[in-house]
């Protein structure tokens, strides 16, 4: 089992920044990925960014956030961060942290944190 605790959401004006954090605990594998998805009202959950929990830290971003969002990780703390800059109203959504074990294919989700971009 893996538990994920997210923090850092809130209300921000367009053009502003927020940083989300996701702390993982439990049976964490080094052969895994962590990342963020989001779901806006009336829309399907979509990928935002992922990062491998390996020495390479390979990242993957949705086209809509490239150049504005940065995912990073602190393996010692089993924590993943999402730095969100130049936020737009269309970034408004509930952001979910996800952990995936690449060996046994198990997947865990956080409870979600609301991000609202509005003036």
Beta-strand pair 113-117/10-12 = parallel
Token pair, residue 49, equals: 């960014």
Mean pLDDT for back-to-back runs of 10 residues, the chain (119 residues): 94 97 91 95 96 87 97 92 98 97 94 96
pLDDT in the model for residue 75: 85
Choose among 81, 105, 107, 116: nearest CA to 9: 116
Phi and psi at residue 24, to the nearest 5°: -105, 145
User: In Å, what is the CA distance from 31 to each residue of 34, 42, 59, 87?
Assistant: 10, 34, 14, 32
DSSP code for 40: -
Q: Which two tokens stand for residue 18?
A: 């927020």
d(C-alpha 5, C-alpha 80), whole Å:
10
């Amino acid at each position: 089992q893996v538990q994920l605790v997210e923090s850092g959401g809130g209300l921000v004006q367009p053009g502003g920044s927020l940083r989300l954090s996701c702390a993982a605990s439990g049976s964490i594998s080094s052969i895994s990925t962590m990342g963020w998805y989001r779901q806006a009202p009336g829309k399907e959950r979509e990928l935002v960014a992922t990062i491998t929990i390996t020495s390479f830290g390979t990242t993957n971003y949705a086209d809509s956030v490239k150049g504005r969002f940065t995912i990073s990780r602190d393996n010692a703390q089993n924590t993943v961060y999402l730095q969100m800059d130049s936020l737009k109203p269309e970034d408004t959504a509930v952001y979910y942290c996800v952990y995936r074990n690449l060996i046994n294919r198990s997947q865990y989700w956080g409870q979600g944190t609301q991000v609202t971009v509005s003036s």
